[in-house]
Amino acid sequence: MSKAFTRETDQTEDDDAPDAPALPAGGKNYMTRAGHDRLRAELLHLLDVERPKVVEVVHWAASNGDRSENGDYLYGKKRLREIDRRIRFLTKRLDAAVVVDPSQHHGKDQVFFGATVRFAREDGSETTVTILGIDEADTAQGQVSWVSPVAQALLKAREGDEVRLRTPTGWETLEVLEVSYPAASA
């Protein structure tokens, strides 16, 4: 059989990155303008800069002859598949995106998307989290996804409310101490 008709990888072509969280049922992907802009910038960079460079290297490597032992060609084709997979993933995420402006809730004490919430745990410790989109949350920076269990427990609560959070060790009560939103940009 000609090598032209064989797959170059044993992996299946799934569009979602293995570590990317799935979108919730209904397919809406809530995110802030900044998160949307970051994903869009990454997509445009892949399309306009990264992919053309790799295509050029693969084209050059293919013109050198024997492709079976050509590292530039083999690596380039693999990198091209990775880029194309990421492009498909970003395109799907941006197509499902619903951009939300958290500043429209500025001054309110109820928890919605984009809120920064300070809450107390039963042991007396306090935690501050900002509720953001799936693709923009970073737990190391105190940002949680709006579909995370803690965000789901806090959503629609008001300052002073107590909410129950299901944890692996059982139920925990959280008291909402403070809710804030970014001010509207001029």
What residues does each domain of the chain span? 26-99, 102-180
Please report the pLDDT score of residue 68 as a whole number: 73
Report which of residues 15 and 30 the model is more confident about. 30
Backbone torsions φ then ψ of 108, nearest 5 degrees:
-90, 155
Question: Taking Cα atoms as reference points, which of 128, 136, 72, 130 lies closest to residue 99?
Answer: 136
**Cα–Cα nearest to 114, from 101, 97, 126, 128:** 101
Among the listed ranges 33-42, 60-69, 122-131, 138-147, which one has the minimum average pLDDT value?
Answer: 60-69
Q: How confident is the model at residue 18 (pLDDT cuts 50, 70, 90)?
A: low
Helix intervals (H) in the chain: 33-45, 51-62, 71-95, 149-154
- Residue 17 has a pLDDT of 55
Contact status, residue 147 vs residue 132, Cβ threshold 8 Å: no
Q: What is the C-alpha to C-alpha distance for residues 186 and 180, in angstroms, rounded to an integer? A: 18
pLDDT at 132: 95
- Rounded to 10 degrees, the C-alpha dihedral 77/81/87/91 comes to 140
CATH number of 26-99: 1.10.287.180
Provide CATH code, domain 102-180.
3.10.50.30
What would you report as the CA-atom Rg of the chain, rounded to the nearest whole angstrom?
Answer: 22
| CB 156, CB 167: distance < 8 Å | no
Tokens 């105190």 — which residue?
142
pLDDT for residue 1: 47
25 or 73, which is more confident?
Answer: 73
In this prediction the pTM is: 0.77
Q: How many residues does the chain have?
A: 186
